[in-house]
Structure 1
């Protein structure tokens, strides 16, 4: 696996978990500043469903080499997350190529681009939503 390959995580939260999500988001921001891990982008917190995601979430983009550190940071919060590579297949990225931290959620994959297509959504370094 290419250590510079782009990866993505969606960290989910409900109203009672929002403060934990804010703290985790700040932790990732500190990693960007301190170069502790190659965190490349942190998206805004969305307090409701967006795209295929049925509940509130925020996203981060990171290099494959940061995967273990990102996963550990998420696991320590007790929040759930979907972690996946960024390829040219949105459906596979969110299903067969993804792994869950915590209890999985049912995503609305009908809104994702079909394999091999991208409807103009930036795939790396800029928020998808």
Structure 2
């Protein structure tokens, strides 16, 4: 069983036509007390993410509720834990909602050093 206090991220992806749905979902997340941080909408590629996205930070105990909020929107999302292995977090430990996005994994931190853990709940890309 996962520690209920383990940190998680969701990356919500959108294209220009999906932006209104992404904004509506983002607004819902900003009102949810279980969500620790909602990042700015980034309308360009950033980090390993080749298309527009924003981050949502939450604890493992909210995992199922976050997935349930994203799924009916039709938006694509990557949901993953934050461990000491950034590559695994974004690949083998990740859960995709909708069609997967081809990430640029070459920019991810090496195992044992995950800057995402340090910025959990506090900053976006």
**Cα distance in 1 between the residues matched to 2:74 and 2:57:** 20
RMSD of aligned Cα (Å):
1.4
| Cα shift at 1:126 | 1.9
| Cα shift at 1:25 | 0.3
CA contact under 8 A between 2:25 and 2:70: conserved in structure 1? yes
Any gaps of 5 or more consecutive residues in structure 2?
none
Matches within 5 A, 1:49-64: 49-64=45-60
Large movers: runs of 4+ above 4 Å:
none
- Residue aligning to 1:13: 14
Matches within 5 A, 1:1-129: 1-32=2-33, 38-118=34-114, 122-129=118-125
Residues 6, 107 of structure 1: alpha-carbon distance in 2 compared, 3 angstrom cutoff: same
| Cα shift at 1:127 | 2.5
Q: Across the two proteins, how many residue pairs are aligned to each other?
A: 124
Q: Deviations over 1:56-90 (max 9, x none)?
A: 00000001010111001100100000000001111
Provide TM-score, normalisation by structure 1.
0.91
Provide TM-score, normalisation by structure 2.
0.94
Residues 97, 75 of structure 1: alpha-carbon distance in 2 compared, 3 angstrom cutoff: same
CA contact under 8 A between 1:59 and 1:127: conserved in structure 2? no
